[in-house]
């Protein structure tokens, strides 16, 4: 008799960050993970994670709403269903629940983890096989202090931990941000690639002025300078400047990717399992980008180890990731809830080994950090 999904438990887990993480729309001092524990009738447990940035600062899903919507609406759609047919279960969620891409991603991750454990295969193998076992990882400099950021970058280079850096800007006046970025690039010189993420903070006129100055300063990539829905403006910026544009919030899924590419956008897409509703959805977007000649970048919503591992299994199946990845989420956290942390070294991270995600929960740490209400 085939296995069925028996129970789906969700936990809110609050982990402190190593330093305040400053973005254009919020400053984070902790990260809240929504951990999914999906138990099946064959005794297998699948793990998933749904994570966002700064409560409701980043998008329409908060940790609390992710948990509530899984518990109330999504879990009942899955409980009692056969465990192994991910395509059917994914279609069932899509048919009965609009949006909620982070919640759906957490559930799909748990389904894949369980199926991998069931078959003795890694998630990457379930998706066709890994083409890489070590992926490059950049580091985000987001203390807000120029000197601190420069010192942090040199320390990361010295430790052979990261050699590409992203700067979060947009919270300050443009001239202030440009001076901050230019000073860091001047200090690092050719030792490191420097990119910026504006997190939708500028209008198009401001973006034209800011990007011109950033291009002159030697910045390699400009991420989401203007609001997500301003597709025409993003296309104009990509055609106006030599420095490539990275679309993030503007491309949630394959349909967005097709629309933007067909409109004449060039540059790169930030892939995030949370935006696309899971690993299969994000790979659909990646394949559209590849067909359109648009570069790939493995993005994060600052997930912990479970969500980061899931993303790495997806990225590992792709060919070239022209702009690498930013899968540093676990490194931003002071502690973890897994038995064995991901292995970061030589400017990147190893793909976890073993069946499923290759991740085991530390029950004591999980109990310590989980909310009791």
61, 108, 249, 326: the active-site residue: 326
- On whether the CB atoms of residues 4 and 80 are closer than 8 A, the answer is yes
Q: Is 64 a catalytic residue?
A: no
Quote the CA–CA distance of 99 and 247 in Å, as a whole number. 20
CA distances from 53 to 21, 22, 365 (A): 10, 11, 22
By C-alpha distance, which of 28, 74, 66, 116 is closest to 358?
116
b vs e for 328-362, b when ≥16 Cβ sit within 10 Å of the residue's Cβ? bbbbbbeebbbeeebebeebbbbbbeebbbbbebb
Q: Which residues, 6 or more positions from 57, have their beta carbon under 8 angstroms from its beta carbon?
A: 23, 25, 26
For 295, the token pair is 């570069």
Q: Is 168 a catalytic residue?
A: yes
- On whether the CB atoms of residues 260 and 285 are closer than 8 A, the answer is no
117, 168, 272, 275: the active-site residue: 168
**Longest pairwise C-alpha distance within the chain:** 66
Residue 277 backbone dihedrals phi, psi, to 5 degrees: 80, 15
3-state secondary structure of 316: helix
Sheet holding 267-271, edge to edge: 139-141, 164-168, 193-197, 222-223, 245-247, 267-271, 295-298
CA distances from 244 to 130, 179, 215 (A): 28, 20, 10
Quote the CA–CA distance of 83 and 3 in Å, as a whole number. 6
CA 87, 93, 99, 100 torsion-angle sign? negative
CA distances from 364 to 11, 220, 337 (A): 14, 43, 8
CA distances from 44 to 114, 356, 365 (A): 6, 11, 21
- On whether the CB atoms of residues 5 and 65 are closer than 8 A, the answer is no
Catalytic residues: 168, 326
């Amino acid at each position: 008799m085939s296995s069925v999904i028996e129970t789906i438990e969700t936990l809110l887990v609050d982990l402190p960050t190593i330093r305040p993480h400053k973005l254009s729309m919020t400053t984070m001092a902790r990260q809240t993970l929504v951990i999914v524990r999906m138990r099946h009738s064959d005794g297998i447990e699948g793990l998933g994670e749904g994570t966002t940035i700064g409560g409701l600062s980043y998008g329409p899903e908060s940790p609390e709403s992710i948990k509530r919507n899984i518990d109330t609406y999504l879990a009942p759609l899955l409980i009692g269903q056969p465990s192994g047919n991910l395509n059917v279960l994914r279609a069932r969620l899509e048919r009965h629940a609009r949006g909620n891409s982070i919640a759906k991603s957490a559930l799909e991750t748990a389904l894949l983890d369980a199926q991998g454990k069931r078959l003795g295969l890694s998630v990457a193998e379930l998706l066709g096989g890994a083409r890489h076992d070590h992926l490059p990882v950049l580091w985000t400099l987001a203390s807000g202090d120029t000197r601190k950021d420069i010192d942090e970058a040199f320390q990361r280079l010295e430790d052979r931990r990261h050699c590409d850096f992203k700067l979060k800007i947009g919270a300050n006046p443009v001239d202030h941000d440009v001076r901050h970025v230019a000073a860091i690039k001047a200090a690092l010189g050719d030792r490191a690639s420097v990119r910026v993420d504006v997190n939708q903070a500028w209008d198009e006129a401001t973006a034209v002025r800011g990007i011109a100055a950033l291009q002159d300063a030697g910045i390699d990539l400009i991420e989401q300078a203007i609001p997500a829905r301003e597709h025409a403006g993003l296309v104009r910026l990509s055609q106006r400047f030599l420095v490539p544009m990275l679309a993030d919030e503007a491309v949630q899924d394959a349909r967005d990717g097709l629309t933007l590419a067909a409109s004449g956008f060039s540059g790169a897409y930030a892939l995030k399992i949370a935006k696309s509703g899971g690993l299969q959805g994000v790979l659909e977007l990646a394949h559209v980008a590849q067909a359109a000649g648009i570069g790939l970048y493995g993005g994060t919503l600052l997930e912990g180890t479970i969500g980061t591992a899931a993303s790495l299994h997806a990225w590992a199946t792709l060919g070239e990731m022209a702009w690498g990845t930013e899968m540093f989420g676990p490194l931003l956290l002071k502690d973890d809830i897994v038995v064995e942390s991901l292995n970061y070294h030589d400017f990147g991270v190893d793909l976890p080994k073993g069946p499923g995600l290759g991740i085991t929960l530390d029950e004591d740490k999980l109990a310590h950090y989980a909310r009791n209400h």
